[in-house]
Every structure is written in structure tokens, then in C-alpha cells.
A and B are shown apart, each in its own frame.
Chain A
Amino acid sequence: MLKTFRIGGIHPPGNKLSAGKKITSIPVPRQVIIPLGQHIGAPAQAVVKKGDQVKAGTLLGESGGFVSANIHSSVSGKVNKIDNAVDASGYKRPAIYIDAEGDEWEDTIDRSETLVRECSISSQEIIDKIAQAGIVGLGGATFPTQVKLTPPAGLRPEILIINGVECEPYLTSDHSLMIEKGEQVLTGVTILMKAISVDKAVIGIENNKPDAIIHLKDLAKRYTGIEITPLKVQYPQGGEKQLIDAVVRRQVKSGALPISVGAVVHNVGTAYAVYEAVQKNKPLIERVVTVTGKGVANPSNFMVRIGTPVRDLIEAAGGMSENTGKIIGGGPMMGKALTSADIPVTKGSSGILVFSKEESLRKPVHNCIRCAKCVQVCPMGLNPTLLMNATEFANWELAEKNYIVDCIECGSCSFTCPACRPLLDYIRSGKGKVMGIIRARKS
């Protein structure tokens, strides 16, 4: 029997429209908008100013704290301005606008396609290189990778788990990466293993990607310590804690980090970026983005420069239909509707989803019928309906007691609710509030 996580979970329709499509590059846009805060933690500090000439790979912003990441230019050209721009957060935040001229890259970057398997540098050097390259978790959480690779004192990682699950419906960016850049991904995994000094890595892949499983299993024979584990299809298996449970049958306690059970989890996209950074000296300036949904003519997987406006991507995928109701950044379950098509692609954008008007409609909300389906499907074992009510009536004590901060915001509860209650909307807002209260109490 195939492995999967033990608590909750749902089965939304897959809709992997762009599966099997080759990763293609799209032309360099005329202007890129590179936000300084593309990751969790402190935004980067700009080190360029208006009028500066930059190349692709030039450092634009330096990491602004321990949990932060460097930002690099994705095109060559001139810095037009440093101004606020609306990003995927829906708020205006500082960003660097660069007018593209030609496509010149920094000399240190190796742009050849040749595969470099050997990595002879020490683990600290690997982590430094990753920090230099500004790599963050590319699964969507955008947590700076170098921080994850530096475990807190006293805790030792035992196993590296690589997330090739891609449980979000529609998205195929990781899938296409595993098929086309399998060797690079596996080399990246080997480098990550070296960085945290473990001798075992497991790549978890859901069973709806049999081609990727076979391909990577084939390739993995040449690498030591890498194992491929097919997993039963179930959402949200790509959640860090769910994946650990599925692969090694260990549960992370409330409030604890995965390292407490000896696991470190990274995404296949991150592994690929690590390969590029360590072996090719290439900072994180482009990523694979799936452009999909029934609203676009040709759902595709693109290699996109960070900072490209979403509009360019949709045009490259055959344009937006008249009947478009919503553009979503990310997958349909955890993604967020974008307020405009001019929002740039950032490090965390795994997909752009174009929904028709009918698909994007919310259903009318009814009263809770106490069916407890949300309780059944919650992968964290929480009671979503209780947490929603606690938030609605501002009972933060009750919410905290019922572990609202453990919510991973996967949306399984809202998806399942037969009364169409906006459970996650409330819980997310309550979680923010309770986290604020906890922070205030600590300080």
C-alpha cells in the first residue's frame, strides 16, 4: 500500500492541464519589477540606486537580517526607479524597477548546459553560496533556505526529505522540473545532503506523476543515499508536516520545527536552484511557473525571469479569455487572487491560474449544519468550525487553546464545507491576531 499522511486530507480534482508540456523560456520583458521582500522575514536592503547599470545576476538587495534573503537582478539594463509596487500580497511594497536592455549576464555565472555532478566544497561553503544566491523555499512558503540548513544548536538532522508532491491541483512546475532537469535536481539533493551532513534523502512524489517517479528512480541508481517514495494522492501532502508523516511516519509536535523529529524538508524546485547556485554560480533570478486554467488557450510551463509581469506570462500562454473572472497567484487551494495583471512574478510564484467568471464565483454562505466534515478533513487535527466561531466572536483565548496557530492554511475545511462557510478566511485572520498576542506576551 502506498504511503500517505494519517490525519485528514481531501481529494480535489487534479486538473493538471499543463502536465507533460515542455518548459519553455519566454522573451525577456521590457521592464521587470523586483520586490525587495519576496520571502518570509525582513525585506532586503537595496544596494543599487536609480540610474545604475546592472547585469542579470547583479546583487540588487542585501539580506536585511537573519531570516532574509539577497535579491538579484534578473535582466541586464538600467535601474529606472526604486518605488512602491503592488505585489502578490495585495499591498504596495518597495520594489526595484529595471528597464531591460539586451541580455548580458554577470561573468561569474556559468550559462552552459553541461551537467556538473561533483561538488568538492565544504558544507559551510555550500550554505554560504546558497545564502549569496538568495535562495528561498520555492514550494511557495519562501522561507530562506540557508536558515533551514542551519539547525538550532543541539538538534541534528537525520534525513533530508525532498518535496516532489505538488499536491495543488493545476500546478505542474515541479513535475516538469523533475522530468526535464532530473539530474540537476538529484545533484542539488546531493549538495543539500552534504550541507546538513546526512547520508539519506527521500524524494516523495505523488502517484499521479508515474513518469516522474520512473524517471527519477532510474536516475537515482547513480546517486548514493537517494530514495524515491511514491505517495498516495491526497491534499495537502506537500505540507511540510504532512510530508514528514507520510514519508517517515513521525509527527511534529505543535509549535515544534521539523528538525525536532530529525527531518529537513526542501522542495524539488529549491534543489534545482541549489544546483544552479552551487555548481553554476547562478543566483535565483528565474524559476519555472505554470500558467494554466480554463481561461488561457495553451496551459504551459515557462522558465520566467523574476519580476516579469503576470500579463506577459498570460499572453505567452495564448492570452486571457474575455470571460476571465480571477487571476490567482499560486494554486487554487492556497493561492491568492491577484488585484492586477501587472503584478510581477516573484520567487514564490509557482503558478498563475486564470479562472473563468463561473469558476471564480463564491457560493452563498449558509449556517453551519454541524456535520463535522471540516474536522474530519483537517490535516492538523484541528476543529475549524470552532476556530472560526472563536475568531468571529474575538475569543482569542479559546482560539489559542484550540491550537489556531497550528493551522497550515491549506483550505481543506473551506473546500469541504457543504454550507460553503468561509472557514479559512476567518481562521487565517484569527491566527494572525493570536500570533500577535503571543508575540506581545513574550516581549
Chain B
Amino acid sequence: MILIAIITLGGIGIISSGLLYLASRKFEVYENPLIAQVQEILPAANCGGCGYPGCAGFADACVNAPSLEDLLCPVGGAAVMSRVAGILGKDTAGADPKIAVVRCNGNCEARPHVNQYDGAGNCAIASSLYGGETGCSYGCLGYGDCAAACTFGAIIINSSTGLPEVIEDKCTSCGACVKACPKNIIELRKKGPKSRRIFVSCVNRDKGGVARKSCSNACIGCNKCEKECKFEAITITDNLAYISSQKCRLCRKCTAVCPTNAIHELNFAPRKETSLEDSPKTDEKTNQKNI
């Protein structure tokens, strides 16, 4: 009895293995072994920040692309990309590391509430209904869609200012917050040397007087920074200044002349008291470096 069972089962096993072997030969799909190797190096966050469906998709794109110039894993950054380039024998992307910046400084004092919203606490819903609780219809709504979208916990809403804050060490510049923000306030900017960067922390396109009335920290499009900048890094469109992170040389002259403190500088050493006439304002600026 036992013998019959062993023979039958063994026979089935041998025949099946033969069939499976033939099938695997017949229907074999060749996958470049490099893809698996590249995927091994990638951070496996599957955040989609690179624009591909997960790390596997990105690895595939890296292997098949003629050069790595347009490809960047925002989580792994330059370090991972150079290792990928090493495996594939291709040139690394020269892309600068980026970081998310919040371009609104309309905190509770600067931007008084003019109405009260009691609908669902979600930025996308509030912005589909109206301009927001303050007079500024461009600024941050503060319901935290960006914080909810961030898989790395790199954005939190500061309860005292009501505005989102980026935690620099955690931000991988995956761009999820940029997509989540219905007001397009968050921008991915060049991280800058020693993480130093200067940007206009406002997106209000109203005329100067109107913008100022709704928020005391708003950019009023006064052109002072544009005139001050020697590198033509600042452009003003629709009453709003924008600093090109490519052209900006971080000289900090624009922050000193801004009448509304709309231009922010991050991670700079405090200025020397004597180097500028209006030193109290400068102090205020550096205090805001975490915002």
C-alpha cells in the first residue's frame, strides 16, 4: 500500500516538475538583473516622489534611460544616485538637492480672521468653497492637507502660528505636500549650501494696498527687492516677488529692504549689529528662521 502511494505521488511529482521546467523555459520573461540590483540600493519608501510608480518603477526607468540626468530619487538624494550610476555605468544627475518651503507667513497676528469656517476640516474642501477665513484668498488655510500627505512626518502644523512647518532633516522633497496643497503655497526649492536659502514667503497676487490690509506680512509688490538685487534673481509678476533659487547668490540684501518682512532667510548666521542701519528688523528676521 505504502509503496503504491509513494510511487504514485513520486510519479506525479516528477511529471509535474518536468512540466514546470518546460513551462518556465517556454514562457520565460527576461528581466534585466540590473533592475533588481538598483532596486536594492533604493530606499524602498515607494513614495512616488520621483514620478514613477514606486521604487521598482524607478529602478526600471534608471536601467532603461540613456542617461540619469532627468532622474532623481528625492529620498535617497545624490548619494543614492551616484551608487545607482556606479552600477549602471552612467553619468549621475547633477540635480541639486531640494527641500519644501512654505510660502505663507500669514500667522494669526498678521492675518486677522474676517469670518469663521465650520465645515469639514480639510484644505481641499475649504478652498473649493471659498477664499478662506482671512481677507487673503491666496494664503494658507491651515487645515493640514500637507501634513496629512507627508509620509515622512516632515511637515507639521504649528499650533501657535497656524501655519505648516517643514522639518528639514526629515524632508525628502518628494513633492507630496506640493501636490496636496490646493493653494499652491509649498514649493520645492534648491536646498542651498549649508541649507541656506532665501525666498519670498507669500503668494498673494492682490494689489499692494489690498494685500497689506489683509495680511501685514504680505508681499506688496513694491519692487524694492528687485531694485536691490544685483543678480537679477528677483522678478515681480502680478504684484508678487519671486526669487529664482538658481540665480540667487544669498547676499541677503533683499531681506533687509523688504518693508513687510515677506522675504525669509533660513539657516544664516545672525547679522552683525553694526553692519546694517536697521538692525532691529534684522534680528526679527533671524528669529523667524524656523518658520
Contacts and interface: CB of A to CB of B under 8 A. Distances in A.
A429 B131 CA distance: 14
A90 B129 CA distance: 7
Contacts of A89: 130
Interface in B108-167: 114-115, 118-120, 122, 124-125, 128-131, 137
B131 A90 contact: yes
A429 B130 contact: no
B206 interface: yes
Chain A CB within 10 Å — which of B114, B118, B206 has the most?
B118
A339 B119 contact: no
Contacts of A86: 131, 137
Given A340-B114, A429-B125, A422 B119 contact: yes
Nearest to A92: B137
B120 A422 contact: yes
Chain A CB within 10 Å — which of B115, B120, B206 has the most?
B120
Contacts of A339: 114-115, 130-131
Contacts of B122: 425-426, 429
Interface in A71-98: 84, 86, 89-92
A13 B236 CA distance: 54
Interface residues of A, number: 18
A433 B119 CA distance: 18
Chain A CB within 10 Å — which of B115, B129, B206, B210 has the most?
B129
A22 B118 CA distance: 35
A362 interface: yes
A432 B122 CA distance: 15
A422 B137 CA distance: 23
Summarize B's interface: helix, strand, loop or mixed. Answer: loop
A92 B131 CA distance: 8
Given A425-B119, A425-B120, A91 B130 contact: yes
A362 B121 CA distance: 12
A287 interface: no
Contacts of B130: 89-91, 336, 339
A428 interface: yes
A432 B210 CA distance: 29
B125 A425 contact: yes
B50 to A, nearest CB: 19
Contacts of B128: 428-429, 432
A421 to B, nearest CB: 9
Interface string A84-122: 101001111000000000000000000000000000000
Contact-residue size bin, chain B (C-beta under 8 Å from the other chain): 10 to 19
B268 to A, nearest CB: 35
Contacts of A429: 122, 124-125, 128
Contacts of B118: 361-362
B192 to A, nearest CB: 32
A426 B131 contact: no
Interface string B172-211: 0000000000000000000000000000000000100010
Contacts of A90: 129-131, 137
B129 A336 contact: yes
A340 B115 CA distance: 8
Contacts of A91: 130-131, 137
Contacts of B115: 339-340
Nearest to A421: B120
Interface in A53-87: 84, 86
B137 A426 contact: no
A336 B126 CA distance: 12
Contacts of A425: 119-120, 122, 125, 129
Given A340-B115, A362-B119, A92 B206 contact: yes
Interface in B22-55: none
Contacts of A92: 131, 137, 206
A90 B114 CA distance: 12
A428 B210 CA distance: 30
A337 to B, nearest CB: 8
Contacts of B131: 86, 90-92, 339
A425 B125 CA distance: 6
Contacts of B210: 84
Nearest to B123: A429
Interface in A345-365: 361-362
Nearest to A431: B128
B208 to A, nearest CB: 14
A312 B276 CA distance: 53
A310 B122 CA distance: 28
Contacts of B114: 339-340
12 contacts: A86-B131, A86-B137, A90-B129, A90-B131, A91-B137, A339-B131, A362-B119, A422-B119, A426-B120, A428-B128, A429-B124, A429-B125
Given A336-B129, A425-B120, 7 more contacts: A90-B137, A339-B114, A339-B115, A339-B130, A340-B115, A362-B119, A422-B119
Q: Which 10 A-B pairs have CB atoms at the shortest separation, nearest pair first? A: A90-B130, A422-B120, A425-B120, A429-B125, A339-B115, A429-B128, A362-B118, A425-B125, A91-B131, A429-B124
